[in-house]
Amino acid sequence: MVVEVEMNNKEKSEGKIEKQTIMQIRSLKKVFNGTVVAVDGVAFDVYEGEIFGFLGPNGAGKTTTISMLTTLLRPTSGSATVCGFDIMKEPNEVRKRIGVVPQEYTADEDLTGYENIMFCADLYGIPRKISRERADELLKLVELEAAKDRKVETYSGGMRRRLELACGLINHPRVLFLDEPTLGLDVQTRAAVWQYIRRLKDEYGMTLFLTTHYLEEADSLCDRIAIIDHGKIVKIGSPKELKDSLGGDIIELGVQGGDDDLVPLIAEVQHVKDVKRVSSSEYRIKSELGDVTAPMVIDALRSKGYRVSRISLTRPSLDQVYLELTGKSIREENGDRAQVMRQRMTMRRARR
């Protein structure tokens, strides 16, 4: 079994302490009905204590991968260990050590919040004495104490999500899987849910494995991100590494007049890596340290008598990384019908 090492976030992000692997995924493959390759031999490690984000278009294999790691699906080939246990050979040992917060609202609407959380505890076979304490503690942590004896059907979307979180933590898992934990929630509630997730993580020192549609969330939360497309991992690394891989900031520039080709002139400026003339008077510049470079470009042009009429600076975002790697924007995608229906159902219920 993996030995746990206490690390604080700072040390971790700087990578000074050797990382302990908590999940090892090796050429994991899932083929449905003999022909549909949902996951095509993915391999990666997840380190203890980190927040690992799993991004990709619908149908890319995210849910299938999570389903295999949470022992709901049997891989066609390949292997994976979670907390040191093989997902195929000892699925029950894995199940005892993981928590799952599914995309859907799975809590029973006819029961109260407290009854729901105790139900989860019973599924793990946690003795009543301990589960009562834990339920109280978790409900306090997600601030549902006051509502614990109300039926779940009266809960708002944010409350339900928090209840799902509490249920997923009842066995004090070492790895918590979160599938689209903020789907359908408004911006404020989303921020609140992430606050809870962070707090829970700090409290219990878990490893988080999550998928999300909101790239800005992934950017600010995740220690590392894997982007998966067509069943394969196309990129893996910290948000910063991914963004840096795009080759720096983008400066867009409009010049008055515009008969002369200014590409050679701009290319000489320090830090500029690439210049393209988009139209007769517009240029697109890729450069490191865009905020420093932009004024230098303006100066260089002015010294030769050209006037800059318009300038914009774009820092690379995860959206752009995503677009570059998968060829599509995360907002404009459509999954298969059943998946879209399920997501709509979750979103409808979230908005009540």
Partner 1 sequence: MTAETISPGTVPAGQDRSNSTIISSSPYHGLWALTNRELKKWYKNPVILLLSLIQPVLWLGLFGKAMNFGAVFTDGAFNIPGLNIPKEIINQLGNMLMLNVFGTSDYFSFLAVGMLSFIVIFTAMFSGMSIVWDRRLGTLNKVMSTPVARGSIVMSKILSSVIRSVVQAAIILLLAVLFGMSTSSMTVLGVLGAFFSLALLSFGFSSIFLMLALRSTNQNTQMAIVNLLNLPLLFGSNALFPASFMPEWLQAFVKVNPISYATDIGRQLLLGSGGMASLAFDFAYLAAFAAVFSAVGIVLSWRLLTK
Residues that bind partner 1 (CB under 8 A): 1, 3-4, 6, 67, 70-74, 83, 92-93, 95-98, 100, 102-106, 108, 110-111, 115, 119-120, 122-127, 130, 133-134, 137, 167, 171-174, 177, 203-205, 338, 342
User: Distance between CA atoms of 301 and 295, rounded to whole angstroms?
Assistant: 10
Nearer Cβ to partner 1 (119/298): 119
Minimum CB–partner distance for residue 177 and partner 1 (Å): 8
Q: Distance (Å, rounded) from C-alpha 248 to C-alpha 316?
A: 7
Q: How far is CA 113 from CA 106, 120, 151, in A?
A: 12, 11, 6
Backbone CA torsion sign across 298, 300, 302, 308? negative
Looking at the Cβ atoms of 94 and 250, the one nearer to partner 1 is 94
Of the candidates 120, 111, 169, 119, the one whose C-alpha atom is nearest the C-alpha of residue 140 is 169
Smallest gap from Cβ 14 to partner 1, in A, equals 22
Smallest gap from residue 171 Cβ to partner 1 (A)? 7
Closest separation between CB of residue 172 and partner 1, Å?
Answer: 5
Q: Which is nearer to partner 1, 98 or 221 (CB)?
A: 98
3-state secondary structure (DSSP) of residue 134: helix
Which residues make Cβ contacts (< 8 Å) with residue 108, sequence separation at least 6? 115, 116, 119, 152
- Between 124 and 311, name the residue whose CB sits nearer to partner 1: 124
Task: Identify whether the C-beta of residue 141 lies closer than 8 Å to the C-beta of residue 166.
Answer: yes
Using CA atoms, how far apart are residues 104 and 110, in angstroms rounded to an integer? 16
Name the minimum Å distance from CB 308 to partner 1: 55
**Smallest separation, CB 330 to partner 1 (Å):** 22
Closer Cβ to partner 1, 64 or 293, answer by number: 64
The nearer residue to partner 1, 102 or 181, going by C-beta atoms, is 102
How many whole angstroms separate alpha carbon 94 and alpha carbon 105?
23
**Of 108 and 260, CB closest to partner 1:** 108
Task: Give 185-214 as a DSSP string.
Answer: --HHHHHHHHHHHHHHHHHHT-EEEEE-S-
Question: Minimum Å distance from CB 261 to partner 1?
Answer: 58
How far, in Å, CA of 316 to CA of 67, rounded? 32
CB neighbour class for 303 (10 Å; exposed up to 12, middle 13-18, buried from 19): exposed
